[in-house]
C-alpha cells in the first residue's frame, strides 16, 4: 500500500472513530441529564403528594387524595410492608402500569426502571398508613416522550456522523497530498537524476519552514555534496591519469631497457634503477597530494587550540634551515596568539616555504604580525617571481608558472591547491604579491575572531 493511501486510511479511520466516540459520549451525557431531570421532577411530585396526604389526614378518602396528586403520565400507589397494595390511582392512558411489579423497599428509592420496553421514573417514600403501619408511597411515571426525544437525538447524531465523514475524507486526501507531494517530487527528481546523470535540485517554497521544507533543503544539500564529490572524483581520476602518464612511461622505458641491456651494462643498470626509483618517489608524492585534494571541505578533521604564531614558525623554520642549509630570517612585528589547527597551519606554511626556497637562491624572510587586524604570516623570497597574468592562476591544480623547471624542482602544480584547501578549512586566506624577476611575498591571513 502506498504512503498516500496509508495516510488517507489512517487519518480517516482516526477522525471517524473520534467523531463516533464524541457523539456516543454526547448521547449518553445528554441521556443521563434528561433522565436525572425526570427523576427530580418525579421526586418533587412524590414529596408534594406525601405532604398533601399527611396534611389531609382522614378528612378525605385516600383514593381522592391519590387522584389529586396523580402524575400526568403515571401512577400513585401505597404499598404495605407485606407487598400488598393499600391504595392505587393511575391515569386512564397508562392502564398497563397496573401490572408494574410491586415491591416494598423500606427506604427511599429513586431510579429508572424499564417496563414493557419503555423507561419509567420510579420514586418511593416511606409513609405512615391509616392503621399506623409504615408503608410506601410510590410514584411511577411513563418516560416514553423522553425516550422518543433521545431516539431522535441518536438519529441526528448518526446523520451528523455520516455527513461529517464526507469533509473528513476530503480533508484527509488533501492532507495526504500535502505530506506526500514533496516526497513524490523528490522521487521524481531522483529518477530524473538517474536518467539524465545531472544533479538536480528541488524547488522550495520560501514561505514554509516546516519539516517538509527541511527535508527538501537537506535533499538539496545532499545533492550539492554529491555533485562536489563526484566532480572531485572525476578531477582526481583525470588528473591522476594525466600526471601519472609521464612517470609510468619513464618507468616502462627504463624497464624495457633493463630487460634488453641491463645485464651487460652496469652503468646503464644503475642509471635505470635510479630513474625508476626517482619516478616511483614522484608517483607516491603525487598520489598522496591527489588523495588530500580529493577530500571535501567538510571532511577535514580540525583540532582547534590556542597557539603562538612565533612558536609554530620558529619550529618550522628550524627544520628548513637544517634540511636546505639556507639562510632564513624571522622578523616579529607583533607576537600574536591564535586559535587554529596547528598541523594544518604548519602544512600551509611548509608548502609556501618550500616554494620560496625552490624558486629563490637568496635568503628568505618570514614576518609575523597583523594586517587589517588579522594575524599574518608573510614569507618573502627574492626569486624569479610570478608574472602578473599568472598570479590569479597559481591555485589551479596542475598549473605551473615555470613549466620548464617543473621536473627539476619536483613540482606537480598541486601544492598551492592543497594549501588553498587547507586554508579554507581553518578559515584563513592566502594572498600573493609578486614582481617578476624580483621576488614574491606569500601572505597567510588567519581569522581575526580567533586571535588575541
Over residues 180-214, the pLDDT tens digits come to 777 788 788 888 887 887 777 877 776 666 777 77
pTM of the predicted protein model: 0.48
pLDDT of residue 450: 57
- Over residues 84-104, mean pLDDT: 88
Tally the residues of the chain.
452
Instruction: Give the orientation angle of helix 309-324 with respect to helix 342-358, to 10 degrees.
Output: 40
Rounded distance between C-alpha atoms, residue 452 and residue 449, angstroms: 8
Rounded distance between C-alpha atoms, residue 85 and residue 103, angstroms: 10
The ranges assigned to domains in the chain are: 3-151, 211-293, 301-450
Over residues 123-180, the pLDDT tens digits come to 999 988 777 788 899 999 999 999 999 999 999 999 988 898 888 888 888 878 777 7
pLDDT of residue 40: 93
Which residues in 10-46 are b (16+ Cβ under 10 Å) and which e?
Answer: ebbeebbeebeeebeeebeeebeebbeebbeebbebb
pLDDT of residue 405: 43
Share of the chain residues as helix, strand and coil, in percent rounded to the nearest 5: 60, 20, 20
Whether pLDDT at 446 is above 80: yes
Asked if residues 431 and 425 have their Cβ atoms less than 8 Å apart, the reply is no
Interacting residues of 23 by C-beta distance below 8 A, sequence separation 6+: 157, 158, 160, 161
CA angle 233, 234, 240 (to 5 degrees): 85
Residue with cell 586559535: 339
Answer CATH for 3-151 from 3.20.20.70, 1.20.1050.10, 3.30.450.20, 3.30.70.100? 3.30.450.20
3 state SS of 101: coil
- Over residues 364-368, mean pLDDT: 93
Asked if residues 247 and 279 have their Cβ atoms less than 8 Å apart, the reply is yes
Q: Is the torsion defined by CA of 246, 251, 255, 261 positive or negative?
A: positive
- Over residues 309-333, mean pLDDT: 86
Q: What is the third-level CATH fold of 301-450?
A: Heat Shock Protein 90 (3.30.565)
The CA dihedral of 245, 285, 431, 394, to the nearest 10 degrees, is -10
Q: Worst-scoring range by mean pLDDT, 148-162, 264-278, 307-321? A: 264-278
- Over residues 90-94, mean pLDDT: 88
Write the class of the CATH domain 211-293. Answer: mainly alpha
pLDDT of residue 171: 83
Going by pLDDT thresholds of 50, 70 and 90, the confidence category of residue 38 is very high
Q: Worst-scoring range by mean pLDDT, 27-41, 43-57, 234-248? A: 234-248
Asked if residues 73 and 97 have their Cβ atoms less than 8 Å apart, the reply is no
Amino acid at each position: 500500500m502506498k504512503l498516500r493511501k496509508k495516510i488517507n486510511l489512517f487519518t480517516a479511520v482516526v477522525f471517524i472513530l473520534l467523531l463516533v466516540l464524541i457523539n456516543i459520549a454526547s448521547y449518553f451525557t445528554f441521556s443521563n441529564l434528561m433522565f436525572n431531570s425526570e427523576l427530580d421532577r418525579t421526586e418533587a411530585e412524590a414529596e408534594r403528594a406525601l405532604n398533601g396526604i399527611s396534611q389531609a389526614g382522614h378528612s378525605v378518602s385516600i383514593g381522592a387524595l391519590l387522584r389529586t396528586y396523580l402524575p400526568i403520565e403515571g401512577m400513585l400507589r401505597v404499598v404495605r410492608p407485606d407487598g400488598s397494595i393499600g391504595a392505587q390511582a393511575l391515569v386512564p392512558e397508562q392502564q398497563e402500569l397496573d401490572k408494574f411489579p410491586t415491591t416494598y423497599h423500606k427506604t427511599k428509592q429513586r431510579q429508572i426502571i424499564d417496563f414493557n420496553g419503555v423507561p419509567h421514573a420510579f420514586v418511593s417514600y416511606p409513609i405512615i398508613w391509616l392503621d399506623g403501619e409504615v408503608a410506601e408511597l410510590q410514584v411511577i411515571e411513563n418516560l416514553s416522550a423522553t425516550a422518543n426525544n433521545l431516539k431522535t437525538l441518536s438519529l441526528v447524531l448518526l446523520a451528523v456522523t455520516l455527513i461529517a465523514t464526507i469533509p473528513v475524507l476530503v480533508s484527509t486526501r488533501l492532507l495526504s497530498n500535502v505530506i506526500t507531494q514533496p516526497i513524490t517530487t523528490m522521487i521524481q527528481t531522483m529518477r530524473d537524476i538517474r536518467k539524465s546523470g545531472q544533479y538536480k535540485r528541488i524547488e522550495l517554497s520560501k514561505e514554509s519552514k516546516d519539516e517538509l521544507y527541511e527535508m527538501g533543503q537537506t535533499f538539496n544539500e545532499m545533492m550539492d555534496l554529491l555533485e562536489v564529490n563526484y566532480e572531485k572524483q572525476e578531477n582526481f581520476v583525470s588528473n591522476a591519469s594525466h600526471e601519472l602518464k609521464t612517470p609510468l612511461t619513464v618507468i616502462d622505458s627504463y624497464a624495457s631497457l633493463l630487460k634488453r641491456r641491463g645485464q651487460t651494462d652496469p652503468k646503464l643498470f644503475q642509471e635505470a634503477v635510479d630513474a625508476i626509483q626517482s619516478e616511483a618517489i614522484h608517483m607516491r608524492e603525487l598520489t598522496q597530494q591527489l588523495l588530500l585534494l580529493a577530500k571535501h571541505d567538510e571532511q577535514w578533521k580540525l583540532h582547534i587550540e590556542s597557539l603562538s604564531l612565533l612558536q609554530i614558525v620558529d619550529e618550522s623554520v628550524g627544520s628548513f634551515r637544517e634540511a636546505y642549509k639556507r639562510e632564513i630570517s624571522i622578523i616579529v612585528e607583533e607576537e600574536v596568539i591564535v586559535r587554529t589547527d596547528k598541523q594544518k597551519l604548519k602544512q600551509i606554511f611548509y608548502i609556501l616555504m618550500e616554494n620560496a626556497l625552490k624558486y629563490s637562491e637568496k635568503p628568505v624572510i618570514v614576518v609575523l604580525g597583523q594586517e587589517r587586524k588579522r594575524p599574518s604570516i608573510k614569507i618573502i623570497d627574492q626569486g624569479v617571481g610570478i608574472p602578473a597574468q599568472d598570479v590569479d592562476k597559481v591555485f589551479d591544480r596542475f598549473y605551473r608558472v615555470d613549466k620548464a623547471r617543473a621536473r627539476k624542482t619536483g613540482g606537480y602544480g598541486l601544492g598551492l591547491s592543497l594549501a588553498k584547501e587547507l586554508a579554507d578549512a581553518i578559515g584563513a586566506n592566502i594572498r600573493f604579491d609578486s614582481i617578476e624577476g624580483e621576488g614574491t611575498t606569500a601572505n597567510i591571513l588567519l581569522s581575526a575572531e580567533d586571535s588575541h
